Structures are given as C-alpha cells and as structure tokens.
Amino acid sequence: MWALLSVDEKGWSVALPESWLKGGEASRFNATTFATLEEAKKGADFVLAPGSHAECLDNLDHLHGCVNDVYSMFDEGYIDGQKVLLAFRKEKT
C-alpha cells in the first residue's frame, strides 16, 4: 500500500510506502492510502520511494537539499529512519 501524507499546514504532500511511516499505519497520520504508487503520485508534491533519491548522490548541492527534506520528515516523527535509507540506494543493474 502507498500513502499520501500531508506534512505541513501549507498542504505539502508526500507519496510513500505505507510501511515507511513511523508505526507503519497511514491512519495514525490521517494519510490517504492507495493501492499503487501511480495513484498516490497524482496528489503528491514529492515522492519518497525505493531509489527515488538515488540521483541526489550525483551532486553535493542536490544531496544537501534532499537530505534536509527527508530528515525533516524523520525529525517530525513521520517516517522510519531505517526504511527511508532505501530512497537513496541505487538499484543494482
């Protein structure tokens, strides 16, 4: 399952695997769930998924911004820090 999570008062929303949420439940954060990433992405400003931030590793300035966004979500208690590391891993080819 995928979750669409609103993370601030301005309505900024993130699509991510429901299992990456702290506690693994979208209902805990009043998030909407979807069966597929494609459905969740329709309402998202930002996608956090396996490999979604791997390109950030190619540029130090870009990496800094990506890490800040992700760390803010971790720091505010939305996401599981161990699972979110998968967003920065490049898929093996």
pLDDT for 24-75, tens place per residue?
A: 888 888 899 999 989 998 989 889 989 888 888 888 777 887 888 888 888 8
Count how many Cα atoms sit within 13 Å of the Cα of residue 17 in the half-sphere of its side chain: 12
Contact 13, 7 (CB under 8 A): yes
- Categorize the per-residue pLDDT at 93 as very low, low, confident or very high, splitting at 50, 70 and 90: low
Q: What is the pTM of this model?
A: 0.82
Sequence-distant (≥ 6) Cβ neighbours of residue 37 within 8 angstroms: 2, 15, 47, 49
Sequence-distant (≥ 6) Cβ neighbours of residue 29 within 8 angstroms: 3, 5, 21, 78
pLDDT of res. 57: 82
- In the chain, what are the domain boundaries? 2-88
pLDDT for 36-46, tens place per residue?
A: 989 998 989 88
d(CA 46, CA 5): 10
